[in-house]
């Protein structure tokens, strides 16, 4: 028997934001979650306007601050109040919002990178561990069916021990001083160390790459050597990074992240080669997974195709050839998160690790990765360990 929908409160996502609406669409796609309230702006008026115009929310559920939202919602009936908070603000606010939400007993879904600093990340991880509450991190690229397929293939041992991992995440949208045009809020905060934290490009997109590589291969980066650059004059954070990687199992690799690759849209690519096979995947053609073998033609596995792993099938909503995209992958994280919340409601308490969505620990790991990259580079691009 179907129960009522999980209720979501959104922090961030007001006028000029991009990712707020994405969260709304992704969360609601599978019919399990409904947005019930939000703190869309630090001005109560603007929050109510955004709430109405963008999200169709009534004024009394649009708050002038996240603190107010948490406080007010806490006082609503259990059948009315939000079940979890989605944090979509710039990085420097993540911690504060998440902490307060957890304090008040709400579960949390948070944008990446987890926080402003490693310190904050550690505190959050501890709080989640202590409280036992649910915490998801929107490393959304893990939600693609073909990423599930790649992961299961590697996990099955079919390609043998992983040897070589290439990750690339390049874009071109910051190849000029977009942050100085006065018209691009996204560029402004992402290039501002007081809002983004220590990493620019490496924090914004590099961590997606690190997370995806570790998720798919099951291997973790043990050491790295990073050369971090800022090509656009006056910019305060990195906009181009190349990193040599060593993995715990002996695999080697390289991660490139750039936002000055002129004209490139959003090219996240993962390639993994083991002793007996390899996989190649590109985010801009997400429904295709190339699988290579030493002694026969390469295969092209496709979302919705026959003979895929059950994990890939579960992540698929449409028949083969009906392209699924970014929102659908994003929605998968919310679907799995909703399941976890629902299980709690049904009295079944399982840890986040029982579900397939990125966790606060992944977020902490990502923050350490950013830190290691920045440290490596600031010392002259030397090797640093990542525990």
Considering only residues 109, 134, 146, 291, which one is a binding residue for a second copy as defined by CB under 8 A?
291
C-alpha distances in angstroms, 132 versus 83, 123, 184, 240? 15, 14, 38, 38
From first CA to last CA, the distance across the chain in angstroms is: 45
HSE, CB side, 13 Å, CA atoms: give it for residue 148: 22
**Residue 181 Cβ vs a second copy, minimum distance, rounded to whole Å:** 13
Which residues contact residue 378 at a Cβ distance below 8 angstroms, ignoring those fewer than 6 apart?
228
- Which value, to the nearest 10 degrees, does the dihedral of the CA atoms of residues 69, 70, 74, 80 take? 50
> Footprint of a second copy on residues 167-196 (CB under 8 A)?
168, 171-173, 175-176
Residue 301 binds a second copy (CB under 8 A) = yes
| Residues 122 to 161 in contact with a second copy, rule: CB under 8 A | 159
User: Is residue 225 a contact point for a second copy (CB under 8 A)?
Assistant: yes
Q: Which of residues 79-108 bind a second copy (CB under 8 A)?
A: none
Q: Give kind and range of the element (H or E) at residue 326.
A: helix 326-345
**Which residues between 314 and 343 bind a second copy (CB under 8 A)?**
317-328
Which of 111, 328 has the CB closer to a second copy?
328
Residues sharing a CB contact under 8 Å with residue 112, sequence separation 6 or more, in sequence order: 137, 138, 139, 207, 208, 211, 358, 363, 366
**3-state SS class at 264:** coil
Task: Indicate whether 198 belongs to the interface with a second copy (CB under 8 A).
Answer: no
Tell me if 248 contacts a second copy by CB under 8 A. Answer: no
Chosen residue from 16, 43, 53, 349 binding a second copy by CB under 8 A: 53
For the CB of residue 326, give the shortest distance to a second copy in the complex, in Å.
4
Give the total of residues touching a second copy (CB under 8 A).
96
Alpha helices in 104-206 (DSSP H): 118-131, 145-155, 185-190, 193-196, 201
Binding mask 12-41 for a second copy (x = CB under 8 A): ------x--xx-xx--xxxxx---------
In the complex with a second copy, the residue whose CB is nearer, 11 or 54, is: 54
């Amino acid at each position: 028997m179907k129960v009522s929908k999980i209720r979501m409160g959104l922090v961030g996502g007001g006028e000029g934001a991009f990712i707020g609406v994405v969260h709304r669409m992704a969360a609601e796609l599978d019919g399990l979650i409904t947005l019930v309230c939000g703190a869309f702006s630090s001005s109560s008026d603007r929050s109510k306007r955004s709430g109405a115009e963008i999200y169709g929310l009534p004024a009394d559920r649009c708050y002038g601050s996240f603190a107010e939202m948490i406080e007010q919602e806490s006082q609503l009936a259990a059948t009315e109040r939000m079940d979890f908070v989605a944090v979509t603000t710039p990085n420097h606010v993540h911690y504060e919002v998440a902490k307060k939400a957890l304090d008040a007993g709400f579960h949390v879904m948070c944008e990446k990178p987890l926080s402003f600093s490693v310190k904050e990340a550690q505190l959050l991880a501890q709080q989640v561990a202590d409280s036992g509450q649910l915490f998801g991190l929107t490393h959304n690229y893990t939600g693609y069916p073909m990423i599930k397929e790649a992961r299961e293939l590697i996990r099955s041992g079919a390609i043998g021990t992983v040897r070589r991992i290439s990750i690339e995440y390049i874009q071109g949208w910051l190849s000029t001083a977009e942050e100085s045009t006065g018209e691009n809020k996204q560029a402004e905060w992402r290039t501002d160390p007081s809002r983004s934290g220590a990493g620019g490009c490496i924090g914004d997109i590099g961590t997606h790459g690190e997370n995806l590589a570790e998720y798919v291969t099951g291997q973790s980066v043990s050491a790295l050597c990073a050369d971090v650059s800022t090509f656009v004059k006056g910019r305060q954070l990195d906009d181009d990074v190349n990193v040599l990687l060593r993995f715990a199992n002996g695999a080697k690799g390289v991660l490139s992240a750039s936002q000055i690759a002129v004209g490139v849209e959003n090219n996240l690519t993962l390639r993994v080669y083991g002793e007996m096979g390899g996989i190649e995947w590109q985010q801009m053609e997400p429904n295709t997974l190339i699988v290579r073998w030493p002694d026969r033609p390469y295969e092209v596995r496709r979302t919705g195709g026959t003979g895929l792993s059950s994990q890939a099938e579960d992540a698929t909503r449409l028949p083969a050839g009906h392209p699924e995209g970014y929102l659908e992958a994003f929605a998968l994280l919310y679907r799995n998160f909703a399941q976890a919340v629902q299980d709690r409601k049904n009295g079944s308490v399982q840890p986040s690790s029982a579900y397939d969505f990125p966790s606060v620990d992944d977020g902490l790991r990502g923050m350490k990765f950013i830190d290691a990259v920045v440290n490596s580079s600031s010392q002259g691009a030397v090797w640093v360990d990542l525990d």
